Amino acid sequence: MILQRHLFFILYSFCGFASKVAETSKTKIRGSSGQFPLTQNMTVTEGGTVNMTCRVEYNDNTSLQWSNPTQQTLFFGDKKALRDNRIELVRASLAELTISISDISLSDEGQYTCSLFTMPVKTSKAFLTVLGVPERPEITGFTKPAMEGDEITLTCTSSGSKPAAHIHWFRNDKEVQGTKEVNATGKSFTVKSSLQLQVDRRDDGVAYTCSVEHVSLASNPYQVTEVLQVHYAPHVEISHSMIIPQEGQYFKLECVSKGNPLPEPVLWSKDGGELPDVERMIVEGRELTITSLNKTDNGTYRCEASNYLGTSGAEYLLFVYDPNAIGQHSPDHALIGGVVAVVVFILLCLIIALGRYLARHKGTYLTHEAKGSEDAPDADTAIINAEGNHLHAEEKKEYYQEEARNVLHPMPENLGYTNNYALREEYVKCINVNHI
């Protein structure tokens, strides 16, 4: 009967319920395989609370003890051994000794020991890792405002992290690479990341964000953003409301100015002086409006803008067209017409030249004209080159006269006219050549 109970207890102890049975039983199994302390490594964030648990699978009334990394006893069974308000008893039994440490600091990190006072004493080590929470980052190196062309270094610093935090830089949400520097300060780290930039006008208003990532922050990194402010000299351009301003029309010029600080107001002038007609030339903000164009309005219009970094000007040459002169032809049509006229003329001349060439080869003029005209590239040159041909002296003279008349003839302003004239001129030349 006794033997049976004995076996029963052995089985029970192997099943892990030994401690409970041992408490109610008078039977002792000293030094059994179940009698050793079990602990586990813990990780806690600075300022938090951690439970340090030590368990014994089977215990015969032997005491348990927790001690800190400097070997000071914290709790012996349920008895507090060290005066430290942060350390409290959570649970003390023969099977377990759990204590809690609150308001954890980095100096609490280290190896804690749970001892079971058997003979000999059995111990178990538990490493307490304390995570240092990084401080909110700070960006330095901002000059507000920066001047275009300045070389600036933005530095983001965060101290107090353990292990060292990671810093990422973003330029308007796009990651950019910084230069990292990590220094150990006491038990924690100070991390720095620097960005060196030569600022230009495109950096004005750009947001630079420093993001600090750390295991203690989980997926909520600390972020701080600074918006660059870059000052630069003005740049102005003039945009116009229409390409071919005509008399009587409403016309608008805009002085598109950029600069920081914004150069205002813009100043308009005409031909180096003030605007001549304030009745019709209205300046509103950056716009100059001429209510009804007049031929006398043509000239050079200038707009100028300044800020403390400089001045920029732009000019617009206004030519007021006469609506009657522009007529029904658009300039493009006139140009095409001209080109067609010239091509037709060249073809015509080539055909004539060919005809003449063939005629000459079987005609009587052959010996006289052959010297100069045969090598000539075209009929015109042929006439000029032809030497000693008395028959053609008269025609040559006529040709030169016609040529001279063409040059002297004044060119009309109308483009369409010009082309018609050009066509006529070429036609006259062609007729002359044909005469020979």
Ligand X SMILES: *[C@@H]1O[C@H](CO)[C@@H](O)[C@H](O)[C@H]1NC(C)=O
Residue for token digits 């301003």? 245
Q: Classify each residue of 87-114 as buried b or exposed e, where b means 16 or more C-beta atoms within 10 Å of its C-beta.
A: bbbeebbbbbbbbebeebeeebbeebbb
- The answer to whether residues 139 and 226 touch, using CB atoms and an 8 Å cutoff, is yes
Query: Should residue 190 be labelled a site residue for ligand X when binding is judged by CB under 6 A?
Result: yes
Neighbours of 210 (CB within 10 A): 25
**Position among 295, 409, 424, 435 found at the interface with ligand X (CB under 6 A):** 295
CA atoms within 13 A on the CB side of 366: 7
Dmax over Cα atoms in the chain, in whole Å?
162
Give residues 319-358 in contact with ligand X (rule: CB under 6 A): 319
The correct pick among 96, 135, 213, 247 for binding ligand X (CB under 6 A) is 247
Q: How far apart are CA 154 and CA 209, in angstroms?
A: 10
Q: Which of 41, 140, 153, 179 binds ligand X (CB under 6 A)?
A: 41
Contacts (CB under 6 A) with ligand X, residues 352-411: none
Instruction: Name the E strands within 310-367.
Output: 310-318
CB 226 within 8 A of CB 208: yes
Residues 266, 256: Cα–Cα separation, whole Å: 9
Span from 44-52, 236-244, 280-288, 337-345 in contact with ligand X (CB under 6 A): 44-52
- The stretch near ligand X (CB under 6 A) out of 235-243, 293-301, 323-331, 425-433 is 293-301
What is the smallest separation between the CB atom of 406 and ligand X, expressed in angstroms?
A: 26
Stretch that binds ligand X, among 43-51, 233-241, 259-267, 389-397 (CB under 6 A): 43-51
State the binding string over 108-127 for ligand X (x if CB under 6 A, else -): -------------------x
- Residue 179 makes contact with ligand X by CB under 6 A: no
Q: Does 153 bind ligand X (CB under 6 A)?
A: no
- Choose which of 153, 179, 183, 239 interacts with ligand X (CB under 6 A): 183
Q: By CB under 6 A, which span of 116-124, 165-173, 291-299, 334-342 interacts with ligand X? A: 291-299
Nearest approach, Cβ of 127 to ligand X (angstroms)? 3
CA-CA distance, 114 to 125, in Å (whole number)? 6
Of 131, 126, 163, which Cα lies nearest the Cα of 51? 126
Rounded Cα–Cα distance for residues 173 and 436 (Å): 82
296 touches ligand X (CB under 6 A): yes
How many angstroms separate the CA atoms of 84 and 153, rounded? 47
User: Candidates 12-20, 145-153, 294-302, 358-366 — which segment interacts with ligand X by CB under 6 A?
Assistant: 294-302
Q: How many CB atoms lie under 10 A from the CB of residue 165? A: 28
Choice between 69 and 372, CB closer to ligand X:
69
Q: Which stretch binds ligand X (CB under 6 A): 195-203, 218-226, 289-297, 308-316?
A: 289-297
Q: Binding to ligand X by residue 194, rule CB under 6 A?
A: no
Q: What mask of x and - would describe binding to ligand X in positions 70 to 99, judged by CB under 6 A?
A: --------------------x---------
Give min distance, CB of 297 to ligand X, in A: 8
Binding residue count for ligand X, defined by CB under 6 A: 18
From the list 269, 289, 291, 298, which residue makes contact with ligand X (rule: CB under 6 A)?
298
Residues 6+ apart with CB under 8 A from 330: none
Separation CA 279–CA 291 (nearest Å): 9
Give me the residue label for tokens 């495109």: 202
Q: Which whole-number Å values give the CA distances from 165 to 42, 52, 241, 292, 385, in the listed order?
A: 20, 27, 57, 69, 93
> Interface with ligand X by CB under 6 A: which residues?
41, 49-51, 61, 90, 100, 127, 183, 190, 247-248, 294-296, 298-299, 319
